[in-house]
Structure 1
């Protein structure tokens, strides 16, 4: 069994999240893979591709049946980077799988997603990777749906590893998979493209009994000679203001064949992604004509 392929699993909901646990159980139950886990020790949703730079990570081994697992204090991108570095595990995984996320990651939400970033970090390091998200809806979904979602993705994972073994798997992309709410009655796999759907956010002011008192200025701490005057000024300021994000309205992309469209129709969407999104051709053409004129104007105005 030593020649079994190795899969590294990470996520952004945290190592105790039911989506990750269901995915690991499904992979282990096949007895086809060596399963490694390196995931955040707490929820790190919507951190995008944030990484820890200046401080060391705290890492602790965690018991998960059939897998070698560690919880780390970093982000999903940190966990992938650490997991494939050979600093934590003796070998580098053949495939990185990030998920299963609670909530879909379609359209522009891909940019916010820590789940997708976990897969993207592997792509940055020339390793095949997949991010997986389930369209959780309160009142309709249950924890058992994660198991169904994991089982529905096993054929894709197996097929990817077969292509890797044959040295035929594409190196210039990674995959983002979204599963519909009614995963038990899904309509099958559908190759899609990233759309532009997004839930636009606003802010509202909120109140709390734990606002923490008055706000002191940095100058107070740094200039002892002016401490008395500065403290007196700061004391007249209002308490800290608290603002919380709120969903304003969804923007539904009208473009066809997109990830959001087909997830809503009940398909399991498979979307190839790259590291960057280039501007559309019309915008590029505009700047081709615009930039030389800016340079010419700057040259003329300097005379």
Structure 2
């Protein structure tokens, strides 16, 4: 791909996320994309944090949009979800052209295993995929006390070869449109072990609930399913609601469950940049499908003929 100053000849990349348009991960990604002088850059991201909203969309009401000044890019903040942003950004209603590639991220915290279901970051890429636009979700395995905002720049730079390769395939009309990519970057990104194609595993946080009596007991929330507990985001406890007699509960992480096999989370922990192809849905495993194939006819016959 030629480093050409003509915006008409450069591919168009649209960036979204779930941490919000002011998030350091998104801003670092946009700076790296712009400074490379390889892309025309659009930004269509949530006006505020939308972590762990999954693939929710705004349906009944219009969303507000405000232009934001990001040097080198055309940028809009959307008062909606990541899926709203991706959908609006590729619709030609907000921008006059459709991007060649949608990048969602860089998320603060990894998105591996079953966590891709909760992730607004992954949903931003998935929404573009639903509409036939090549897409990538990108997350950095942030760890409190070890990570710094500078790591986002390193993460973005490490993803550039992948973005360029995807766009080269798109230009050649050889890029597959029956899936999208989920990239996770290890905590020690400066010393990563290279790129590794992985498959989605089953890692997940097992979560429970605890009752909250006051704002002081609200503790600190995870701004993403993978963030450390030292996030700066505070739980917003409505003390007036508590005083009115309602009970308040908040989630808490009980334990982390990680696959013991060679999957996305395990490889990420080993220091690899994991590249995981995803699809629109997660089909049942073969043995589960086989069970229900045998079970359904007999179940319907037995309980349809039984006296109630």
Same fold (TM over 0.5): yes
Preserved CA contact (<8 Å) 2:196 2:274: yes
Aligned length: 280
Partner Cα distance (1:244, 1:180) in 2: 29
Q: Using the alignment, how far apart are the partners of 1:65 and 1:167 within structure 2?
A: 31
Counterpart position of 2:30: 24
Query: Could you tell me which residue of structure 2 aligns to residue 43 of structure 1?
Result: 49
Alignment partners' CA distance in 1, 2:133 and 2:16: 14
Shift of 1:214: 7.6
SS at structure 2 position matched to 1:212:
helix
SS in 1 for 2:117: helix
* Counterpart contact for 2:198–2:275, Cα < 8 Å: yes
Q: CA deviation at 1:297?
A: 1.4
Deviation at 1:203, TM superposition (A): 0.6
Partner of 1:122: 128
Give the equivalent residue in structure 2 for 1:272: 277
CA distance in 2: counterparts of 1:148 and 1:175, whole angstroms: 19
| Residues 199 and 251 in structure 1, CA contact (< 8 A), matched pair in contact too | yes
- Quote the offset at 1:213 in angstroms: 5.1
Per-residue deviation, 1:171: 1.1
| 1:10, distance to aligned residue in structure 2 (A) | 0.1
Q: Is the 8 A contact 2:213 2:242 kept in 1?
A: no
Higher mean C-alpha deviation, range 170-179 or range 200-209 = 200-209
Q: Which whole-Å CA distance do the structure 1 matches of 2:81 and 2:304 have between them?
A: 46
TM-score (norm 2): 0.89
CA distance in 1, matches of 2:172, 2:241: 63
Whole-angstrom distance in 2 between the partners of 1:252 and 1:105? 13
Contact kept? 2:14, 2:44, Cα under 8 Å: yes
Superposition CA RMSD, Å: 1.4
Aligned to 2:297: 292
Equivalence for 1:15: 21
Confirm whether residue 211 of structure 1 aligns to residue 239 of structure 2: yes
Provide the residue aligned with 2:218 in structure 1. Answer: none
Match of 1:145 in 2: 151
- Counterpart CA distance in 2 for 1:262 and 1:194 is 11
Q: Give the Cα–Cα distance (whole angstroms) in 2 for the partners of residues 98 and 300 of structure 1.
A: 52
Inter-CA distance 294–6: structure 2 relative to 1 (3 Å threshold): same
- Of 221, 227, 251 in structure 2, the residue corresponding to residue 245 of structure 1 is 251
> Greater CA deviation, 116-125 or 290-299?
290-299
SS of residue in 1 equivalent to 2:182: strand
Residue deviations 1:18-70, cap 9 Å, x none? 00000000100111111000000000000000000011111000000100000
Q: Greater Rg, structure 1 or structure 2?
A: 1
- Per-residue deviation, 1:295: 2.0
**Which stretch has the larger CA shift, 3-12 or 291-300?**
291-300
Which segments of structure 1 move beyond 2 Å, counting only runs of 4 or more? 298-303
Closer/same/farther in 2, CA of residues 112 and 213 from structure 1, 3 Å limit: closer
Do the aligned partners of 1:212 and 1:240 also contact (CA within 8 Å) in 2?
no
8 Å CA contact retained: 1:76, 1:114: yes
1:8 touches 1:37 (CA, 8 Å); kept in 2?
Answer: yes
* TM-score for both structures, normalised by structure 1: 0.90
Distance 1:35 1:14 in 2: 17
Structure 2 match to 1:228: none
Of 199-208 and 83-92, the range deviating more from structure 2: 199-208
State the distance in 2 between where 1:56 and 1:295 align. 44
Indicate conservation of the 8 Å contact 1:80/1:118, yes or no: yes
1:261 is the counterpart of 2:272: no
Structure 2 unaligned blocks of 5 or more: 1-5, 216-237
